[in-house]
Chain A
């Protein structure tokens, strides 16, 4: 299984600012995913990040608000732009195990509070 780290682990930000979250995987993976987990809720997929192509966003999420980079097979970033209190959530990245495996392994999450 892949080991995934995220930075920062938590942050408190002012409205109108942006935060970039980093996700590092200890092995090369083809697919990485970014999820949002709002307080007391389940996980909602924001986008799929493939190396060498633009991220694919789910309905309700747009690139201007959540730009994603995937410069190589072990790293991705998610930026939460022009933040508002409604963006206060836990943001998790995950990677797919590869091959025919469908399971995903998750990072510890970034707990974001927007004031």
Chain B
């Protein structure tokens, strides 16, 4: 079984400040990990993915995430928040081994304060 825990249902940062959204996973096999973003009244857009290559993954819009196996974490960061980053962010895991189902965390709503 696989699961995802996102710490903090709501995170507020000032414009220009560091964004850090936390994600911890549990998986019985090497995982595939993803961050998705959902803007209001829209579907999900893939931000970045980890698929067992480089542990530091760069995504769109200046976001990146680092896979840390020892900590079972895949935290999302961005050095400088922009107003347009305000959205809901979902971490997801796929356990591979022929199972392509995604298990999502509960989501973190990011607010950016001007």
CB within 8 Å of B: which residues of A?
1, 4, 31, 33, 41-43, 45, 48, 92, 94, 96, 101-109, 111
Question: What is the minimal beta-carbon distance from B94 to any residue of chain A, in angstroms?
Answer: 4
Does B42 make an interface contact (CB < 8 A)?
Answer: yes
Contact mask B71-114 → A, CB, 8 Å, 1/0?
00000000000000000001000101000111011110000000
Complex contacts, A104 vs chain B, CB 8 Å: 46, 100, 102
Question: What is the minimal beta-carbon distance from B15 to any residue of chain A, in angstroms?
Answer: 25
6 contacts between A and B (CB under 8 A): A42-B107, A43-B44, A48-B101, A102-B32, A106-B36, A109-B43
Question: What is the minimal beta-carbon distance from A34 to any residue of chain B, in angstroms?
Answer: 12
The answer to whether residues A41 and B106 also contact, given A102-B94, A103-B46, A109-B42 and a CB cut-off of 8 A, is yes
Question: What is the minimal beta-carbon distance from A43 to any residue of chain B, in angstroms?
Answer: 5
Bound: A107/B38 CA distance, A: 11
Chain A facing B: main interface SS: strand
Q: Does the CB pair B100–A43 fall under 8 Å?
A: no
For B, the interface residue count at a CB cutoff of 8 angstroms equals 21
Bound: A55/B33 CA distance, A: 25
Query: Which residue, B43, B44, B46, B49, has most C-beta atoms of chain A within 10 A?
Result: B43
Complex contacts, A94 vs chain B, CB 8 Å: 44
Question: What is the minimal beta-carbon distance from A49 to any residue of chain B, in angstroms?
Answer: 12
Q: Does the CB pair A108–B43 fall under 8 Å?
A: yes
Residues of B16-47 contacting chain A, CB below 8 A: 32, 34, 36, 41-46
Query: Which residue, B32, B49, B94, B102, has most C-beta atoms of chain A within 10 A?
Result: B102
Bound: A2/B45 CA distance, A: 11
Complex contacts, B32 vs chain A, CB 8 Å: 102-103
